[in-house]
Structure 1
Amino acid sequence: MTKSNFAIRPFRAEDYPQIEDIYLQGLVTGNASYEHRAMTLEEFVDGKNMDTVFVAVELYDDSKVIGWVSGAPISQRPVLAGVLEDSIYIDSNAQGRGVASGLLDRFIDACQELGMWAIHSWIFPENEGSVKLHVSRGFEEVGTYKHLAKMTYGPRAGEWRDTVVYQKLLPKPEKVTAEEEFEHTASERIKAQRPLKA
């Protein structure tokens, strides 16, 4: 996907050092994450739905990452397999170019292509830019977790923070993972049932 001054492409392993640097830029603000360190590449790959990880790169330099987006499952339960939590981070030098909007649009498209039925975004209320971006793409506020966790670093270290949950509903797929799993194991369950005694 090409925008006016940048392009969006799937993640490649060699992108990770730049992804990590951009993530750490976000942590410095104190309004991006409760986490105090970046994940390793192995943790990143293990924790994300890699079909939803995209990077924005300079239009004429495919190797220069200026932002990224990813989705992570909200649960390991099969019945919730169609709900992802998004993360979007932009290089501080690329702010104001529409990079975040482009990445979120591509992420939403990917989720629909994959048969996801909802996207969640957990945002600090102080992160007004992220709130505005998500609302502009049809996300609705569904609730607030009060003093969800205590900050351990940065300008708000020691504070208990609230987190607002925004949700975007996508078209419902005809069949979901849990149904497929149920159908696959139905015969085994039937065979395992003991006949009722007269």
Structure 2
Amino acid sequence: MSDKRFIIRPLEQSDYAQVQEIYEHGLDTGHATFERHAPTWEQFQNKKIMDTVFVAVEEEDNTTVLGWVSAAPVSQREVFHGVVEDSIYIHPGARGRGVAGALLDRLIQACEELGKWAIHSWIFPENEGSAALHSSRGFEKVGTFSHMAKMPYGELAGQWRDTDVWEKLLPKPDGKAAHEA
């Protein structure tokens, strides 16, 4: 475990090659996403709410990306405009330094500032680290989609995957949680 310090800041386009590399590390595990490839910069910008995209970088150089977090709309329907889905990826060499928790805390803060009322996370049951991280930040497992999709690649090729859905309800502008309205 390193004692180096890191900072959280908004993503810059110049960070994106490292973000893609970290995403690819997640893809290689087979437990991070149903996607097959990291998106291009243009695709990433079109899918994400860019005001919620943050990177953790080494404090000493402000350029070495340790991990990233983002939110994307769960639906294009207006009624769901306050509900987002998170993504969080940490470089394998940066695990155990508190990077994931700091990034998720920053994402929650950004979503509250933007008036979002819920954050969802779809997590494979085998991804125990991500489930524990989300639980530690007040997310609750609200369900499981069984046999959500067949994984088309990697070590789990041809395997049907379940996906757990985790949710965090955020305070509404009136200070009440969404479920208290």
- TM-score past 0.5 threshold: yes
| Matched length | 172
CA distance in 2, matches of 1:143, 1:173: 27
Matches within 5 A, 1:33-182: 33-173=33-173
**Paired residue type of 1:97:** R
**Paired residue type of 1:115:** G
**Paired residue type of 1:155:** E
Q: 1:71 Cα deviation (Å)?
A: 0.2
SS of equivalent residue, structure 1 residue 33: coil
Percent identity of paired positions between Structure 1 and Structure 2 = 63
Q: 1:172 Cα deviation (Å)?
A: 1.8
Q: 1:59 Cα deviation (Å)?
A: 0.9
**Paired residue type of 1:140:** E
Q: 1:173 Cα deviation (Å)?
A: 3.1
CA distance in 2, matches of 1:155, 1:5: 35
- 1:189: which partner in 2? none
CA distance in 1, matches of 2:30, 2:98: 22
Q: 1:79 Cα deviation (Å)?
A: 1.1
CA distance in 2, matches of 1:43, 1:36: 14
**Paired residue type of 1:93:** G
C-alpha RMSD over aligned residues? 1.2
SS of equivalent residue, structure 1 residue 149: strand
| Contact residue 143 and residue 166 of structure 1 kept, 8 A | yes
CA distance in 1, matches of 2:142, 2:95: 28
TM-score in terms of structure 1 length: 0.85
> Which entry has the higher C-alpha Rg, 1 or 2?
1
| Contact residue 116 and residue 173 of structure 1 kept, 8 A | no
1:63-93: per-residue Cα shift (whole Å, max 9, x none)? 1111000000000111111111000000011
CA distance in 2, matches of 1:34, 1:150: 9
- 2:22: which partner in 1? 22
Q: 1:109 Cα deviation (Å)?
A: 0.4
Q: After TM superposition, which residue ranges in structure 1, 4 or more long, deviate above 2 angstroms? A: none
Gaps of 5+ in 1: 175-198
Q: 1:154 Cα deviation (Å)?
A: 1.2
Gaps of 5+ in 2: 175-181
SS of equivalent residue, structure 1 residue 122: strand
Q: 1:41 Cα deviation (Å)?
A: 0.4
| Contact residue 120 and residue 165 of structure 1 kept, 8 A | yes
1:106-153: per-residue Cα shift (whole Å, max 9, x none)? 000000011000000000000000000000000001111010001011
